[in-house]
Amino acid sequence: MSAQVPADRLRDLRSVTDAALAYLPLEDLLNELLRRVVAILNADTAAILLLEDDDKTLAARAARGLEEEVERGVRIPVGKGFAGRIAASRQPVQIENIDEAEIVNPILREKGLRSLLGVPLLVEGGVIGVMHVGTLTERKFSGEDVELLQSAGDRAALAISSRLTERERGLADALQNSLIPRLPNLPALALTGRYLPAASAQLGGDWYDAFQLPDGRLGMAIGDVVGRGFYAAAIMGQLRSGLRAYALDSGAPGEVLGRLSRLLRQLEPGRTATVLYLVLDPYAGSLVASSAGHPPVLIAGSAGSTFVELPGSAPLGATRHPTYQEREHEVEPGSTLILYTDGLVERAGESLNDGFERLVRAVQGAEEDLEHLGDHLVDELLPGGTTDDDAALLLARALPMTDSLATRLPADVESIPLMRRMLGRWLHEAGATQAQAEDLSLATSEACANAIEHAYGPGPGILEVTASISPGGDALVAIRDYGSWRPPRGANRGRGLMLMEGLADSVEVVRGDEGTTVQLSRRLGAEAA
């Protein structure tokens, strides 16, 4: 058919995609394409509408002689009106007399257009948009006109699509980077995550997160939003924020997932996502997990690897009133939690079980260091890198505590539960009975609360907590602040001091120029009272 197009018009056509255009920003490129198309087809107006990420709407992105289309942000549902029909049918549409046609966009009539010709912008068989031209006088477009516009459309589509991919890639990197969390730094706990974008550079919906809860435990989440592209990534960001908010509020993993499911149904009905959320108490050696259709967490310890199986559950957003059951599991000191998305274990032509087995094998050959283990798992499970799916991995390991404990914490009420759990575990490892560990941890909490309330103003400060065992078998805990000491005031602090004195064998307050140190001691062991 192209043979019927005269040579000079073909030359014109080539101008639509000449190399110089490649360096223009996308909006300039579209405008320049339209200028050339108007000239070649001797039309009065031209416009390009591109399909939005929802695949349901066309949005005006560039126009010539119809600038209002872009300025007013015209949006046309696919299937409706002139442009919508072209996108839905993927066929050129010609309107000879606009009065006899169904038109959604009022600007076309306002401008006095009489005839229209539009073609789909196709990339690999998929519609990415519509390009149309219009005339102020009634015109019957010839087969040659249709052919020319479609050829121009094809070339434009390629240029736009490569430009979009490039733009999307830049945005994708920025978006994905903003969504990779900064993991909390907790004493005696190693934590690391990996996010692997899809090799196809499509924006994915995998994510992970880890954060400290108000009671000092650690929230860990990993998830996979079904779908790809900006919408999936944006939903992922909202789910991540939502999960944190619910987790800070409630803490119970099953409830958090139930609320998150309702959130997703409201954000985007029909969208589903899988999430695994667990609360780890690294100092008590236990976790509580709940899952919304997500593959189970793997715990790898000295005795082997165990998946924490949960009862079958629906993905978020899939059912109206989902219930997400919880399961508690022990976590031995030194064992590793492995949270992952299916992109890490799934391979084409294999069952998911093969992937799980491969994960267990990869963990067994594991390196000691958690960072190395992260790299090792990625190398073993995705030897050729990702393909068209992204993947995420989150690892945590409770480390054995050393002979003496030394930790610096923000002088903030939120540090107290964390300190209490950490000290409790250290005392346990040092041979304290449960009651001794509880008593000294509470006395230390009171000393910390004193320092937070009385040593510092509203600004930030630091608390240092150190603990050691004396040669005589006493546990010695020192709580140091760098503020200016004020005597405890009010009934709370009076009772705080009373508790410190009642729970520890001795309490000493040492005031220096640079701050105050409270020293507590308590005899440990079975013979101690």
Partner 1 sequence: MTAKVEFDHRDSVGVALLSGDVDIAHASTLRKQLLSAVRNDDLGLVVDLTDARYIDSVGVSLLFELAERLSDRQLRFAVVIPDGGLVQRVLTIVHLDSVAQVHPGLDHAVAALRSDA
* Residue ranges binding partner 1 (CB under 8 A): 214-215, 250-252, 413-414, 416-417, 435, 438-439, 442, 445-446, 449, 491-493, 495-496, 498-499, 502-503
- Measured from the CB atom, the residue of 318 and 416 that comes closer to partner 1 is 416
CB of 287 to partner 1, least distance (A): 13
Q: What is the distance of C-alpha 7 from the center of its chain?
A: 53
Q: Retrieve residue 430's tokens.
A: 């040092």
Comparing CB distances to partner 1, the nearer of 192 and 441 is 441
Work out how close the CB of 279 gets to partner 1 at its nearest, in angstroms, rounded to a whole number: 10
C-alpha distances (whole Å) from 231 to each of 52, 58, 91, 121, 445 are: 10, 16, 27, 21, 46
In this complex, which beta carbon is closest to partner 1, that of residue 356 or of residue 485?
485
Compute the least distance from the CB of residue 462 to partner 1, in Å.
19
Q: Give dist(CA 368, CA 521) in Å, integer.
A: 36
> In the complex, what is the shortest distance from the CB of residue 408 to partner 1, in angstroms, rounded to a whole number?
20
Q: What is the DSSP letter of 105?
A: -
Nearer to partner 1, 92 or 424 (CB): 424
Distances from the Cα of 296 to the Cα of 27, 91, 340, angstroms = 46, 47, 8
Closest CA to 42 of 130, 120, 115: 115
Nearest-angstrom CA–CA distance, 255 and 250: 7
Query: Toward partner 1, which CB reaches closer, 79 or 410?
Result: 410
Nearer to partner 1, 136 or 252 (CB): 252
Comparison of 301 and 417: residue with beta carbon closer to partner 1: 417
- Tell me how far apart the alpha carbons of residues 61 and 49 are, in angstroms, rounded to a whole number: 5
Radius of gyration of the chain (CA): 32
CB of 265 to partner 1, least distance (A): 26
Name every residue whose Cβ is closer than 8 Å to that of residue 271 and which is 6 or more positions away in sequence: 225, 226, 227, 235, 264, 317
Angle at 467 between CA 461 and CA 471, to 5 degrees: 150
- The answer to whether 281 and 287 have CB atoms below 8 angstroms apart is yes
The candidate with the shortest Cα–Cα distance to 239, out of 295, 172, 315, 182, is 315
| SS3 category, 362 | helix
492 Cβ contact list (under 8 Å, min separation 6): none
Q: Rank residues 76 and 452 by Cβ distance to partner 1 and give the closer one.
A: 452
Asked if 331 and 398 touch (Cβ cutoff 8 Å), the reply is: yes
> Taking each helix axis from N to C terminus, what angle separates 229-249 and 143-179, rounded to the nearest 10 degrees?
30
Closer to partner 1 by Cβ: residue 238 or 250: 250
Count CB neighbours of 27 within 10 A: 11
In the bound state with partner 1, the residue whose beta carbon lies nearer, of 252 and 267, is 252
> Is the Cβ of residue 21 or residue 465 nearer to partner 1 in the bound state?
465
At its nearest, how many Å lie between partner 1 and the CB of residue 278?
15
Smallest distance, Å, CB 442 to partner 1? Answer: 6
Closer CB to partner 1, 258 or 296, in the complex = 258
* Euclidean distance between CA atoms 275 and 358, whole angstroms: 22
d(CA 251, CA 170): 36
Nearest to 121 by CA among 163, 74, 158, 66: 158
What contacts 166, CB < 8 A, 6 or more positions away? none
Which residue, 259 or 265, has its beta carbon nearer to partner 1? 259
CB nearer to partner 1: pick between 346 and 453 = 453
CB of 213 to partner 1, least distance (A): 9
- Residue 423 and residue 430: Cα distance in Å, rounded? 10
Q: Are 239 and 273 in contact (CB under 8 A)?
A: yes
**Are 176 and 203 within 8 A, CB to CB?**
yes
- As measured in angstroms, the least distance from the Cβ of 418 to partner 1 is 10
User: Shortest distance, CB of residue 439 to partner 1, whole angstroms?
Assistant: 7
Least gap, CB of 253 to partner 1 (angstroms): 12
CB of 492 to partner 1, least distance (A): 5
Q: Minimal distance in Å, beta carbon 435 to partner 1?
A: 7
Residue carrying the six token digits 């076309």? 108
